[in-house]
A and B are shown apart, each in its own frame.
Chain A
């Protein structure tokens, strides 16, 4: 597991999501990246049950339960700005049992699917973010395998991102900045995906702005 940067690629003017993804993958292939199967990251939202809220007197917190095909045996449970729990996939079954405390939000499932590319020590995953039946945006994940400290290789990652994202290169993810010299872990990637999904969900609430 190396350092990973997850970002959103805006849909090109006058193009559909599918066309923009194709444009991006073609660019990657031109660069010399090799196709290596597919990937999938999904996220389901739970909110604390009303019955437990009243007695505690606190506002409802959202919990996200996520899966990543890169870690097929694990399940990630995150709070916004909170801790991240990494559990076995059985955790899903446990969530059903915990219905009294956590209730699944209706039609909240959001996921990104796409192709996995390998270029030297870089792993690039370009995915289409879908919510229900409709495509909402494009996610780009770049992992640099050999390095484990985010601050060490951010400049290097940035240079690589620029080589195929051009002007749409993102800034450093928030998880990179807050801890210096700490080994990067899978949970950090999941936090980035969670933030990306939240961003895309909010964009959907303002239909005028579109996906840009």
Chain B
């Protein structure tokens, strides 16, 4: 009810203000009329001047009065809404009950957020394009329009296509056997056996690698009910995953950009599983998922010499009791985790 009354009062003030404006305009035009007419014909020159000045004064007074009246009324009407950058949504700021419906402040926040997001996304896409593998010609030229379309299509690849890609990779590497199964619906799970060195369980989502677990050749990769065990980790430190793959690994994944200074987060973290996770973060190429899988497998294959290759930097096999578990993404050379910068 109070709102309605408020509105009616405001409307009355509005109409009064409009009539006041009209009055002001007419009085102003009277001033100019008076000036235009000039002095009226009177007997004496003095009389003419006096009459003109008096008339002019009267007109000016009425302008002054009308102006004051308008000013008084304009206070009653309240502030008119300014031309807001948010256009009509700016009118939300007029809502007097801020505490109950803080729509306007939320709107501003969201606006700032989306601005920032756009800015950061731009920066990120620039950086990612710089660091991606130079394996396909079209990755730089992909227009912004195509990209959002390309991503969903790679997620809904037909299972037959995934099978084909995997079997082709399987044939590519004779020392590596890949067994594909789909225990949980459409997502494929790969059991990769690399020579007599290690086994890797790769959980795929379409052709994207979601998770990798590395175990020893002689370790059990099945749960008691005969399914692939994708949760438990290896008993051996070489294969284990002791800490989740942090962002620092991603940034240090590229051998060119990595710098010293960042210490190892835990005590013993240079495990193959960790490195495999790093690799799948490194090999990202949303437009060509099969290339990603192939690059990952090529990289993984270099572990066939996990126990045979000495570190390319220090020349030794062991460091803190662990062999060189890192493989460079480009050269596939073996390094200890601490030797790889």
Contacts and interface: CB of A to CB of B under 8 A. Distances in A.
A41 to B, nearest CB: 21
Name the prevailing secondary structure of the B interface residues: loop
Interface string A139-166: 0000011111100110110011001000
Contacts of A159: 316-318
Interface in A155-200: 155-156, 159-160, 163, 181, 183
B307 interface: yes
A209 interface: no
A97 to B, nearest CB: 35
Contacts of B208: none
B320 A120 contact: yes
A189 to B, nearest CB: 14
A121 interface: yes
A152 B307 contact: yes
Interface in B283-335: 307-308, 310, 316-318, 320-323
B254 to A, nearest CB: 28
B276 to A, nearest CB: 15
Contacts, number: 60
User: How many interface residues does chain B have, given as a range?
Assistant: 20 to 34
B236 A145 contact: yes
B167 interface: no
B218 A148 contact: yes
B235 interface: yes
Looking at A32, A144, A146, A153, which has the most chain B CB atoms within 10 Å of its CB? A146
A71 interface: no
A149 B237 contact: no
B268 interface: yes
B238 A121 contact: yes
A147 B307 contact: yes
Given A155-B310, A155-B317, A120 B218 contact: no
A53 interface: no
A159 B311 CA distance: 13
A163 B323 CA distance: 14
B197 A152 contact: yes
B165 to A, nearest CB: 30
A101 interface: no
A34 B316 CA distance: 23
Contact of B236 (A121, A152, A153): A121
Contacts of B72: none
B268 A120 contact: yes
Contacts of A147: 197, 216, 307
6 contacts: A120-B320, A144-B307, A146-B236, A146-B239, A155-B317, A183-B218
Interface of A: 1-2, 32, 119-122, 144-149, 152-153, 155-156, 159-160, 163, 181, 183
Interface of B: 196-198, 216-218, 234-239, 268, 307-308, 310, 316-318, 320-323
The 4 closest A-B pairs by CB, nearest first: A120-B321, A153-B307, A146-B236, A156-B317
Given A120-B237, A156-B318, A160-B317, 13 more contacts: A120-B321, A121-B321, A122-B321, A144-B307, A145-B235, A147-B197, A149-B196, A152-B196, A152-B307, A153-B308, A155-B308, A155-B310, A183-B217
